[in-house]
Chains A and B, each alone.
Chain A
């Protein structure tokens, strides 16, 4: 079924905008493409693609890591650092990084997915080790908190908000806020502060990163039973600006709306990033290519162990200390097999039901609990910057539209310090629809032209010259972009079940944390590497 321009713009933007866009002649479109992923192969795997590797295509190896996203790469990094070398990492795509991957152009690199990490606090020892190794940190301050080198912190000006023809500094819309708006915003911040300060009897914080270290006290975990929207209602907070900010935060971090995000996750977004009450949120660390920098670094450290374009088709634990992994090599179109003692499953968790043989035969209940949002990411290559609106806040790293369902755009040249001329905008659109299957269908049934139109029309509200400035627009459709922390997921026992090893298959993926963050993917990877080495009776000093 083919949708009209008007229908597409109405579905993803708003009907007045669609109407006015369609009254004008259809604009000239720049060139561009949908970034090819291995979606088709993925569907075939789901439909039970079975290939039998030739007898001499089998190999014995101690550990196979399935998935070269942050979790898989981190596990490999940890294994290698502890001197364990007998493993291989297989990654379906021809580029590593998963949802943290990035692209390159002559001008600057740019993200395709994840684009920032809040500065870690001293408790996150494992992450500090990685960041120190990468030269991101420069010692610690007098409270022992790590100091991030200036050039990696998001450069000021960081964020601006577009509202009715003008840009304003920051993400809370102060302009025109009433007394009541401001009072509610203040009360909200106070409530967040209360959670920042909150500690249980064991001295654990209510919200911290990695989330494995949070308190499981019912006072906190009860928050997971309701939605963020319900939570706001409890306090009678009705200010549209506050609601917008909270909804934006949920969409930005989780790709779900204020109604479909658990209050626990909603508060986590704010409270886990503050060192102490009243402190400003931890500054953001970013690079032109976003978290692609981290993915590429990890990859560079374990490159000799990684096989790209190799998809796991089936994982079959046949006996104790023996798992058979059949794979399909996209480069040679051949099947290969591995006999491993242990497997680290670092692909998205929903795939376990298709790939792990016993799961396929007898799907465990907990896998269903994992639901994924759908995202569209567009990279727009501009020959020059949009003209500056007078008396408006200037171009920032993150540029958000108050009246749009998108998340706005991030500017890749910002952190590089390229302040004039050509640039790349990365535009994010999470489909927050309640039913994830409907959301995915909307994502995939809209073609390049449709998505390019959505991105350009949306951005043109603030930058009418975007059509003539854009030379190319490439589109990424993330069908299973990230797990959604809907109510009753984070503290539901399914998530804990899922993280337990199944025979000699160990699980590592940000999914298992319930919140899709770099830090969580990294933590899961390191945790599983250590879990496996412990099971092999190796002695080492844990960093988690």
Chain B
């Protein structure tokens, strides 16, 4: 005789785990591939039909039901448990990510679909058929409810996607391991082997759980308001992509670089004034800006013949070339035949080149370290001047003139000290607040008045209005940022500290 109540606990957990895996896959799919309605219904469709396939396949299993049932449970544990980590790691590396995704969903669906019919057949001698069906199905649906409530309320916010997946895998294998006792009378041979398999899978999942910190740490999961969907520590920085209702965000070392919802305001403002001021630029240089978003704006101009993009971090430019959401957002700009990508420190690169450019777009992270501060020094801007064609123009992102007013003006004055005329300008980017830029050229110039057609943000009126500064962002007295004083890093630190 076997204890049916324990078997029903089994059903509950199987049901919960199954649905959790499905939800995980759906969430990840909509994060990475965007368009959540389609993704969710596709995942649900594939999952349910795969369960049907599983149920049908169960008809081919004739004997050793209990043993097969436990083996399937172990298989679900390993596949479901590792589903999120596998998908997570294949995000940016594989262009056929969606194939892997659907395959994983399908396989889990088949396995889960096999479970219930088998279990019902195992129990058919213990209970009346009518009791059996009603209890198993009730518990199955309760399990689904538990999962769908726990998933958004507790699991994702507290554990994050990767850990949730691994924890449920553990739960799955745990229950399978337990079943080797409850179903012991029905198992004819290979009991020990089954237990060993279960233990091995449990150990693998535990290792995965410990290793999960390598992907995202718990502390980091809590640091960001939204779910982390990609993260990697490159040789230069920590790159994190999060996903929220409004879109996705890129963070470098914990500092927001853009939000997909409003980055067009920032990038249009960064790129077009300098492009328009030059006229018809042919050779453009981008320093920093490895996300390819500024590049997208530059490539809108058909006059542009070549763009050189110099970004320190190959991990960043690879992300921009391969990460589906970002590729869509930057309109495949990194892979455009006109673009040449160079992964090197911009300052060292500038020291060594003899090439000259019409327009230079500078999109470095804010100067919060000495390594970044040097990219805002008089020396740097002097090197830049040497690499400009006659009449060449430069646009520089200069942090917020509102939150870091001294830093902003320090950058403006430093560019001037290097022999440029500068027009400061700014725009509002909801994700950042008021953001500041500098438009620079050697010799006096008038602000550009005509915006390119068909932009989302800039038209002629807004273009002109960018150049009016409000009273609370107007000029303040500053020192010039030089390599040997790095005053900007000190300004920046003291200003932003107030907001932390």
Task: State whether these chains interact.
Answer: yes
* Alpha-carbon distance A156/B377, docked complex (angstroms): 11
- The interface stretch among B81-89, B281-289, B424-432, B478-486 is B478-486
Q: Which B374-393 residues sit within 8 Å CB-CB of chain A?
A: 374, 377-379, 382
Q: Assess whether A155 is in contact with B374, with CB atoms less than 8 Å apart.
A: yes
Tell whether, in the assembled complex, residue B370 and residue A157 are in contact, meaning their CB atoms are under 8 Å apart.
Answer: yes
| Shortest Cβ distance from residue B342 to the other chain A in the assembled complex, whole angstroms | 16
Is there contact, CB below 8 Å, between A153 and B370?
no
Which of A151, A153, A156, A420 interacts with B236 by CB under 8 Å?
A420
Q: Which residues of A contact B483 (CB under 8 A)?
A: 150-151, 153, 155-156
Candidate in B369, B382, B485 with the most chain A CB atoms within 10 angstroms: B485
Is A150 touching B348 in the complex (CB atoms < 8 A)?
Answer: no
CB A398 to nearest CB in B, in angstroms, measures 13
| B residues less than 8 Å from A444 (CB atoms) | none
A158 to B484, CA, bound (A): 8
Separation of A34 and B483 alpha carbons in the complex (Å): 35
Partner of A421 from the list B235, B351, B484 (CB cut-off 8 Å) is B235
Q: Which among B348, B482, B486 is the interface contact of A417 at CB below 8 angstroms?
A: B348
A416 lies within 8 A of B370 (CB) = no
Which residue of chain B has its CB nearest to the CB of A154?
B484
The 8 Å CB contact of B485, one of A156, A384, A417, is A156
- Asked whether A394 is an interface residue with its Cβ less than 8 Å from the other chain, the reply is yes
Given A150-B483, A154-B484, A157-B486, residue A416 in contact with residue B348 (CB < 8 A): yes
Please state if A419 and B482 are interface contacts (CB–CB under 8 Å).
Answer: no
State which of A154, A283, A420 has its C-beta within 8 Å of the C-beta of B371: A420
A151, B418: Cα distance in complex, Å:
13
Residue A418 CB within 8 A of the other chain: yes
Q: Separation in Å of the B310 CB from the closest CB of chain A?
A: 14
Q: Are A150 and B345 in contact (CB under 8 A)?
A: no
Chain B residues with CB below 8 A from A153, complex form: 482-484
CB-CB under 8 A from B484, the residues of chain A are 150, 153-156, 158, 283
Quick check: A394 and B370 within 8 Å, CB to CB?
A: yes
Distance A156 CA – B491 CA, assembled complex (angstroms) = 14
Residues of A within 8 A of B377 (CB): 150
Give the tally of cross-chain contacts (CB within 8 A): 49
Nearest-neighbor residue (CB-CB) of B347 within chain A: A417
| B330-352 vs A, Cβ < 8 Å mask (1 yes, 0 no) | 00000000000000010110010
Q: Least Cβ distance of A285 to chain B in Å? A: 10
The reply to whether B486 and A156 contact each other, CB–CB distance below 8 Å, is yes
A150 vs B483: C-alpha distance when bound (angstroms): 7
B312 within 8 A of A: yes
| Most A Cβ at <10 Å: residue of B312, B345, B483, B486 | B483
Contact of B370 with A419 in the complex, beta carbons under 8 Å = yes
Nearest A residue to B487 by beta-carbon distance? A156
Contact A420 B312, beta carbon cutoff 8 Å:
yes
Q: Of B235, B236, B369, B378, which one neighbours A150 at CB under 8 angstroms?
A: B378
- A151 x B345 contact (CB < 8 A): no
How far, in angstroms, from A400 to B437 measured CA to CA in the complex? 39
Number of interface residues of A (CB under 8 A): 17
- Enumerate chain A residues within 8 angstroms of B374, measured Cβ to Cβ: 155, 417, 419
CB distance from A91 to the nearest CB of B (A): 32
Q: Contact between B236 and A394 (Cβ–Cβ < 8 Å)?
A: no
Contact A150 B482, CB 8 Å, known A417-B345, A417-B347, A417-B348: yes
Quick one: CB contact mask for A417-429 with B, threshold 8 Å, 1 for yes? 1111100000000
CB distance A156 to B370 under 8 Å?
yes
Chain B residues in 8 Å Cβ range of A154? 484
Q: Mark A377-419, 1 if CB is under 8 A from B, else 0.
A: 0000000100000000010000000000000000000001111
In the bound complex, residues from chain A placing their C-beta under 8 Å from that of B347 are: 417
Min CB distance A399 to B, Å, is: 14
Smallest CB-CB separation from B483: which chain A residue? Answer: A155
Q: Which of A153, A394, A416, A420 has the most CB of B within 10 A?
A: A420
Docked pose: A416 CA to B484 CA in angstroms: 13
Chain B 475-497, CB-CB to A under 8 Å as 1, else 0, gives 00000001111100000000000
| Residues of chain A lying within 8 A (CB to CB) of residue B485 | 156
A293: min CB distance to chain B, Å = 15
Chain B residues near A417 (CB-CB < 8 A): 345, 347-348, 351, 374
Give Cα distance in the complex from A419 to B375, angstroms. Answer: 12
CB-CB under 8 A from A418, the residues of chain B are: 345, 348
A150-B377, A150-B379 given; A419·B371 CB < 8 A: yes
**Smallest CB–CB gap between A124 and chain B, Å?**
20
Which residue from chain A places its CB closest to the CB of B234 in the assembled complex? A420
A71–B348 Cα distance when bound, in Å, is 33
Knowing A156-B486, A417-B345, A418-B348 are in contact, say whether A151-B379 is a contact too (CB < 8 A).
Answer: yes
- What's the nearest-Cβ distance from chain B to residue A274, in Å? 17
Residue in A closest to B486 when the chains form the complex, CB atoms:
A156
Return B110 CB to nearest CB of chain A, in Å. 46
A150–B141 alpha-carbon span in the complex (Å):
72
User: How far, in angstroms, from A158 to B482 measured CA to CA in the complex?
Assistant: 13
Give, as a whole number of angstroms, the nearest-CB distance from A178 to chain B: 26
Chain B nearest CB from A108 CB (Å) reads 11
| CB nearest to B484 among chain A residues | A153
Complex: A326 Cα to B329 Cα, angstroms: 77
A345 to B346 alpha-carbon distance, docked (Å): 47
**Residue in chain B with minimal CB distance to A155:** B483
Cα–Cα distance between A421 and B382 once the two chains are bound (Å): 26
In the complex, which residues 113-171 of chain A have their Cβ closer than 8 Å to any Cβ of chain B? 150-151, 153-158
> B373 contacts which chain A residues (CB < 8 A)?
156
Q: B312: which A residues are within 8 A, CB to CB?
A: 420
A419 to B486, CA, bound (A): 14
Distance, CA A155 to CA B375, complexed state (A): 12
Q: Which residues in A have their C-beta under 8 angstroms from that of B482?
A: 150, 153
Tell me which residues across on chain A come within 8 A of B351, comparing CB atoms: 417
CA–CA, A156 to B382, complex, Å? 18
Q: Report the minimum CB–CB distance from B29 to chain A (whole Å).
A: 35
Residues of chain B from 442 to 500 with CB closer than 8 A to chain A in the complex: 482-486
Contacts of B379 in A (CB 8 A): 150-151
Closest B residue to A148 by beta carbon equals B484
Q: What are 28 residue pairs bridging A and B, where the CB atoms are less than 8 Å apart in the complex?
A: A150-B377, A150-B378, A150-B382, A150-B483, A151-B379, A153-B482, A153-B483, A154-B484, A155-B370, A155-B374, A155-B484, A155-B486, A156-B483, A156-B484, A156-B485, A156-B486, A157-B370, A283-B484, A384-B235, A394-B369, A417-B345, A417-B347, A417-B348, A418-B348, A419-B370, A419-B371, A420-B235, A420-B371
Contacts A150-B379, A156-B486 supplied; 13 other A-B pairs, CB < 8 Å: A150-B378, A155-B483, A156-B484, A157-B486, A158-B484, A394-B370, A417-B347, A417-B351, A417-B374, A418-B345, A419-B345, A419-B370, A420-B236
Give 4 nearest A-B pairs by CB, closest first: A419-B371, A156-B486, A153-B484, A150-B379
